[in-house]
Amino acid sequence: MTAIELSSVTKRFGPVTAVDDLTLAIEDGEIFGFLGPNGAGKSTVISLLLDFIRPTAGTVRVLGRDAQAESLAVRERTGVLPDAYHVYDRLTGRQHVDFAIRSKGTDDDPDALLERVGIEDAGDRKAGTYSKGMAQRLMLATALVGTPELLVFDEPTTGLDPTGAREMRDIIRAERDRGATVFFSSHSLHQVEAVCDRVGILNRGRLVALDSVAGLRERTGGGARLRITADQMSDAVLNTLRSQDGVTAAEADGQTLLVTCDPGAKADVIATLRGSGVDVVDFATETTSLEDLFIDYTTDERAAAPGEQR
Ligand SMILES: Nc1ncnc2c1ncn2[C@@H]1O[C@H](COP(=O)(O)OP(=O)(O)OP(=O)(O)O)[C@@H](O)[C@H]1O
């Protein structure tokens, strides 16, 4: 079954087109990362899935049902971690989870859920005294109530420390392994690349890339960037490097030389420098990162061009 199906969905808020003719299908059991810069339209899509808002045009289906006409049935089977959430200051963590259990009519053990998100020791404390990360963990516990078929998380790692972010990723994987579909938004490719089966990059309401993490990585060309510290540098040497097979760019900044090249050309670059009488004091290799690709897909020059899906 297709867990989420958006067909030609547009959402306008007055003059602002938050989502622009978006068609996207997420398969059952998939972990899907929805990426995009601030204002790209991620939260708007999530609100459309949950029928918090309605599309200007197009249709939204979730878990095989119409997101509008059958929103209650959808929400019963969905666990949500919203972007902006509210904890009841005077209720304890356990009371929050109890409340979610009663609302969903399930027989979950609140303590087991609190333990799963790492705040079992704070279950009796009022949520108003929780740190931001603890409140986030509490909201995660309530999202997991009723072993939902679909988990929709808006920026799940924001506010979490590195350990918390890793635990979140572990929970996302464990939920997928038990059969759930996970759809989550993020600004950060670092967060999605470790867990996602597929990634969609949204920019100004349009889908500008849709691929597996491996596929996206391939688009970076597997390129390498060499950062070389040399005792001297000249235009002649730079030009020799630029004309060398496998080298796509070579720039110098004082004694630091940045060379972008195929991974197989790294040794030749060093050999060329030595052959030119340049002493290599130090060098480091960086792979072209997915973060670079994300920025490339979402910079304004590209966004201004008709945003074709690539
Ligand atoms: N209720 C609303 N009324 C008017 N404009 C809105 C409303 N909700 C969202 N927008 C606009 O729609 C666009 C998309 O916003 P959205 O919150 O979906 O982006 P986002 O990708 O989730 O951003 P962020 O990463 O900053 O949370 C923005 O230009 C935003 O100002």
If asked whether residues 152 and 73 sit together in one domain, one would say: yes
Q: Ligand 1 centroid vs 85 CA: distance in angstroms?
A: 16
Domain boundary among 202, 218, 234: 218
Provide the domain limits for residue 174: 2-77+148-218
Report the CATH number at residue 254: 3.30.70.980
Q: Ligand 1 centroid vs 225 CA: distance in angstroms?
A: 36
Ligand 1 atom nearest the C-alpha of 46 is 18
Question: Cα separation of 83 and 207, whole Å?
Answer: 21
Q: What is the pLDDT of residues 136-169, one digit of tens each?
A: 999 999 999 999 999 999 988 887 888 888 888 9
Report the CATH number at residue 28: 3.40.50.300
If asked whether residues 154 and 73 sit together in one domain, one would say: yes
Q: What is the pLDDT of residues 97-109, one digit of tens each?
A: 999 999 999 999 9
Question: Residue 125 domain-assigned?
Answer: no
| Angle, CA 119 vertex, CA 115 and CA 123 arms, to 5° | 95
Q: Evaluate if residue 308 carries a pLDDT over 50.
A: no
Question: Cα separation of 252 and 236, whole Å?
Answer: 12
Q: What is the pLDDT of residues 32-53, one digit of tens each?
A: 999 988 899 999 999 999 999 9
Flag the least confident range among 97-106, 121-130, 283-292: 283-292
If asked whether residues 199 and 233 sit together in one domain, one would say: no
Question: Residue 120 domain-assigned?
Answer: no
Coil/strand/helix, residue 74: helix
If asked whether residues 202 and 236 sit together in one domain, one would say: no
If asked whether residues 243 and 208 sit together in one domain, one would say: no
The pLDDT-based confidence of 232 (bands split at 50, 70, 90) is: confident
Residues contacting residue 130 through CB under 8 Å, at least 6 positions apart: 87, 93, 119, 122, 138
CB-based contact 60:43 (threshold 8 Å): no
If asked whether residues 61 and 25 sit together in one domain, one would say: yes
Question: Cα separation of 107 and 113, whole Å?
Answer: 12
Interface ipTM: 0.97
Q: Which of 17, 22, 43, 81 to mutate to test the pocket of ligand 1 (most atoms within 8 A of CB)?
A: 43
Question: Residue 251 domain-assigned?
Answer: yes
> Which residue has 């030119």 as its token pair?
276
